[in-house]
Amino acid sequence: MLTLTPGATTLAMLETLWRQGLPARLDPATSGPVAAAAAQVRAAAEGGAAIYGVNTGFGKLASVKIAPEDTATLQRNLILSHACGVGEALDIPTTRLMMVLKLLSLGRGASGVQPQTVALIEAMLARGVIPLVPVQGSVGASGDLAPLAHMTAVMIGEGEAMLAGETVPGARALARAGLAPVTLGPKEGLALINGTQFSTALALTGLFDGWRLARESLVIAALSTDAIMGSTAPLRAEIHALRGHRGQIEVAQAMRALLEDSEIRESHREDDTRVQDPYCIRCAPQVLGAAIDLLRFAATTLETEANAVTDNPLVTPAGIISGGNFHAEPVAFAADIIALALAETGAIAQRRVALMVDPALSFDLPPFLTPDPGLNSGLMIAEVTSAALMSENKHLANPCSTDSTPTSANQEDHVSMAAHGARRLARMTGNLATILGIEALCAAQGVEFRAPHITSPQLQKALAAIRAASPALIADRYLAPDIRAAADLTRQGRLAQATTLEMTL
């Protein structure tokens, strides 16, 4: 059980929660501010002034005043009418992360929910009651209304939930877990569905996997450099210091360390007729470093958003104020930035694959990295697969944040499209994991063709991890399992773990 402090929860904690499926609860110190805000909302609901979302309709219907006796019905109707999501269900780990993010937002004490509502989310996480949330239907303002309505529907005994691997009606799931649905008080329904937690959860998972793959790409790029007998001169520190970008400097430093004491490198330091390597080798620090800088920029935005209050209106000491924190533009921009980093990391990796399989460019490696070309095709079509995935990621990297459309009778006339901007990232990281896995297979073949010279001690550890998943390709065989195994290696971060690579988000 992790105890979270709203406003101060780190990305590392969120990644641990997501990957390990741990239950979470808020710091008990949050109960006072949460209860105080709820009391402030109750008092406002009993007063005569019209306050949006407390005693009025929603969106274009905000001018309709709601009687105090209809407050509970208003909030229940909001959830039922907004649960309009379609498509496949969000995976369980990401749904749990979304629920954790909603806890962090409510725990700031500016949303006006009852303490028992917060406690129910904590209990659902602890007992494995995970709402079934369709992934399509949000435009990223006014918050992720449809996905979060499906989450909240289970809390009021409606909708569907996953429990012990089974899909069951929400009320039954709660009962089986020994929980009871809540009756929503004034503003509570709006507080629960107005927010960016669906989009932010998806963007965070893209960031977490993207960062892991960025680290893998450094190790594999270094191995590819040795496979084609590339020069380490472009990695020299003075080159990168003169430009000054943090990511570029760190990538060059990491690759120098990974390639240190490589016999392959030393074997061609003198009398090498080549003057310069292709850009996919020579400019690896510039490209991968820039991608890492983008991921770090997105990480800063998403850590802030994960701790933010993004519903509307907000409960403050000065009163209940209507604003626009539900607009997910920061998340949409972060998702677009992550997509660019993923696409370019894959693009330069694919060019290294193409380099290694081409005998005209690979510096005496056999065609398609097979010892008996002609009779065998080797890694010929693995390279084609990497090209297909690279191209797919290029298309997916087109920005989503620029694609606004008006909704809700033009009341919500500019939206962020953060939800599907973030949702595509899982597909992109899956593609990138496979591209890098194919590069790892090629680099391993190439390095082994340089015998009797061997690669560096660090890269030998990575090579051993590759060979544990995929034996050397001596003759053609059914390659799909090898590609899957190599992709799993990169997805799990196993190659960076095999080395002493140190680089943190």
Verify whether residue 478 is a known catalytic residue: no
H-helix or E-strand containing 286? helix 284-306
- Residue 154's nearest CA partner among 142, 168, 136, 140 is 168
Q: Tell the residue number behind the tokens 């920029």, with chain if given.
A: 297
Paired strand residues for 316: 319
Q: Is 410 left (phi over 0), alpha (psi -120 to 50) or beta?
A: left
Residue 307 tokens, joined = 């701790």
What is the distance between the alpha carbons of residues 134 and 85, in angstroms, rounded to a whole number?
5
The amino acid occupying position 472 is A
Taken in order 167, 168, 171, 177, the sign of the CA dihedral is negative
* Helix, strand, coil percent values for the chain (each to nearest 5): 60, 5, 35
First to last CA, the chain: 24
What is the distance between the alpha carbons of residues 273 and 258, in angstroms, rounded to a whole number?
24
* Residues 6+ away with beta carbon under 8 Å from 387: 350, 354
Choose the catalytic residue: 9, 40, 52, 217: 52
The SS3 of residue 413 is: coil
Residue 160 tokens, joined = 């569907």
Q: Is 7 left (phi over 0), alpha (psi -120 to 50) or beta?
A: left
The SS3 of residue 206 is: helix
Q: Tell the residue number behind the tokens 């020994």, with chain if given.
A: 178
> Annotated active-site positions, please?
52
